[in-house]
Chain A
Amino acid sequence: MSTQTQTPNPALLGKKAVKYGFGIVVSIWMLFPIFWMATTGFKRNESIMNLPPDWLLFDVTLVHYRDLFTEFGFHQFLFNSFLVATGAVLISVVIGVPAAYSLSRMDVPREQDISFWILSTRMIPPLAVLVPLFIFFTTVGLTDSLLGLMITHFLITLPMIIWIVKGFIDELPQSLEESAMVDGCNRIQAFREVVVPLVMPGIAAAAFIGFIFSWNNFLLALVLTGGGTRTAPLVIQSSMGYLSIDWGMLGAAGTLTILPPVVLSLLIKDHLVEGMTMGAVKE
């Protein structure tokens, strides 16, 4: 085991070089598109058009970011994305955590069926529900509104939060609440004072993952919003249709759009896979 640092065996070293070289090549494959988009956002237009491409050394400019906000009002669309995702996640947490507790701890008849049904709503192809929902929203005047979009995003965030949090509560020893209840707490107090604080890390992870999925969603916003209520991914899409594409500005917009999910996912990377598979995988 400790031979790692000592033996300068050339054959072994060569093998190691090949091994880590392979890892670096794969990493470049994974990261290069992001790097390329992000740097494009900081390049002058002439530099974007340069051949051979400017890999690393180029004049950094913030002009695309400036234009994005001043001419394009991109902050509006970022804010829309943020509002929809945050609202959907917060409400989902408030109503989803008690539901998770109920499914995990209380004697719900046909609990298996209800749990699976909740999971199954996450598997529905959005387009299958979008036409009827679109008609409903048209009748009640919720199309082109962030509230309407937020409501449909419950379909993304709520099942996810219920399932992830349920997984965390399942792992908590039941004796903790029982002793709290022996000490005179009622069920609601035991839930609020004992269970919720203890599964807080799980709730946070679930909330972040819900936020990422809601933020990244495109199709629901494509159908249900327009004009000033568009979300950030939608604006990127609609700016790409023209013959001459402003790559610098799009690079900047894309970079800003991927920033929140990437930062959040790095914060919770240990729970990420568990969350993305709704607890089916435990690391």
Chain B
Amino acid sequence: MIGFSAVVNKTRQGPLLNSLDIDDSTLRWLFLLPSVAILAFLSIYPFLQGIWMSLHQWSLAGQGTQFVGLTNYATLLGESRFHGALVNTAVFTGVSVTVELILGVGLAIYLRSLSRRWRPVFRTIFIVPMIVTPIATGLMWRLMLNGQIGVMNYLLYLAGLPIPEWTSSPFMAMFTIIMIDVWQWTPLVIMIAFAGLLSIPDTLYEAARVDGAPRWAIFRHITLPGIKYMIAIAAVFRLMRSFRSFDIIWLVTQGGPGTSTEVLNIYLYRVAFVNLQGGKPPRSASSSWSSPSRPRWAS
């Protein structure tokens, strides 16, 4: 019992924390272990499992599995719908990220040109869209683009412009989801580029102005080099997220009409969870909301 009472005595001397004497080489792993274990379970295990599954004939509902080598890959690569999804992803990501970078850098330069009094106000406003829950973003735009009550259509009508079928033609559907993505994510580029702009010393601009440098020269030789690292970061972050886009596209077009906005994620989701699980084909989204019915004021 001596050992036991020693332990009791030791813990009585103060909080357990003080008596715990773990040396650094153990502690560093104790600190890391829970996080590493959880992340490994959530990323490495599914990744390996995914590779295993890709080499076997297998379905969510079925029982038996059979090794088939690279057949699944061959099937996938041969599928025209997969090719379509690749192209759609490239178009969606390429166009939206390019537009966001150009708009975002432009608006960041605009923010910097504002007086100290108004800068925080506009900066706060410019942050808001990137915080909005993407599903709510999709909801807002469907409300505004709706064939019957859409306020955007009304404004276009007032301006005497033709009212597009936002999601029923393949071209317009792609345009629409890119427009919404630009609304949601340009703010992120603005914020990153703006952080970069703040790090450029004012003296550089003053010197350039004293020398009488024209605006574009200031932009090309001071602004752009000063934020090119930030632009690269913004591009990487946008590309990473854009490849994973799902929510807005799913809510607005569900990949339709047909498969014209079916990016890789939508395709994967349909193959993995919609087609196999319930067997029910996905509802055609475009028919559910912007059906070709003409707006009331335009008749």
Q: A residues bordering B, Cβ < 8 Å?
A: 4, 19-20, 22-23, 26-27, 29-31, 33-34, 36-37, 40, 48-49, 51-53, 95-96, 98-99, 101-103, 106-108, 114, 117-118, 120-121, 123-136, 151-152, 154-155, 158-159, 162, 186-189, 192, 212, 215-216, 218-219, 222-223, 232-234, 236-237, 240-243, 245, 247, 250-251, 254, 257-258, 261-262, 265-266, 269, 272-273, 276-277, 280-283
B60: A residues at CB distance < 8 A: 131, 134-135
| Count of A-B contacts judged by CB separation below 8 Å | 258
Binds A, one of B1-9, B67-75, B138-146, B214-222: B138-146
A29 to B129, CA, bound (A): 10
B126 within 8 A of A: yes
Minimum CB–CB distance for B156 against chain A, Å: 13
Inter-chain contact A126/B24, CB cutoff 8 Å:
no
B113: A residues at CB distance < 8 A: 19
Q: B272 touches which one: A102, A123, A127 (CB < 8 A)?
A: A127
Task: Kindly report which residue of chain A lies nearest to residue B18, judged by CB atoms.
Answer: A189
Give the interface SS of chain B, mostly helix, strand, loop or mixed.
helix
B192 within 8 A of A: yes
A271 to B124, CA, bound (A): 12
Inter-chain contact A257/B247, CB cutoff 8 Å:
no
Interface string of B43-59 (1 = CB under 8 A from A): 10111011001000000
B296 within 8 A of A: yes
Quick one: given A34-B128, A36-B140, A106-B31, are A132 and B50 in contact (CB under 8 Å)? yes
B79 within 8 A of A: no
Inter-chain contact A53/B46, CB cutoff 8 Å:
no
Inter-chain contact A129/B50, CB cutoff 8 Å:
yes
**7 residue pairs, one from A and one from B, having the closest CB atoms:** A102-B31, A132-B49, A129-B46, A132-B46, A98-B31, A106-B28, A233-B135
Question: A53-B151, A124-B43 known; 17 other A-B pairs, CB under 8 Å?
Answer: A33-B140, A36-B140, A102-B27, A103-B32, A106-B28, A107-B28, A125-B243, A130-B272, A133-B46, A135-B49, A186-B20, A222-B269, A233-B247, A240-B251, A254-B139, A258-B136, A262-B128
Q: B24 touches which one: A106, A155, A236 (CB < 8 A)?
A: A106
Interface string of B75-100 (1 = CB under 8 A from A): 00000000000000000000000000
Inter-chain contact A262/B269, CB cutoff 8 Å:
no
Task: Kindly report which residue of chain A lies nearest to residue B247, judged by CB atoms.
Answer: A218
**Listed A/B pairs (25) with beta-carbon separation below 8 Å:** A27-B125, A29-B183, A30-B183, A30-B187, A37-B140, A53-B149, A53-B151, A106-B28, A107-B28, A132-B45, A189-B17, A216-B133, A216-B134, A232-B133, A240-B289, A242-B288, A247-B143, A254-B139, A257-B136, A258-B136, A261-B132, A269-B127, A273-B188, A277-B192, A281-B230
B25: A residues at CB distance < 8 A: 107
B50: A residues at CB distance < 8 A: 128-129, 131-132
A130: B residues at CB distance < 8 A: 46, 272
Inter-chain contact B127/A265, CB cutoff 8 Å:
yes
Number of residues of chain B lying within 8 A (CB) of chain A: 86
A49: B residues at CB distance < 8 A: 148-149
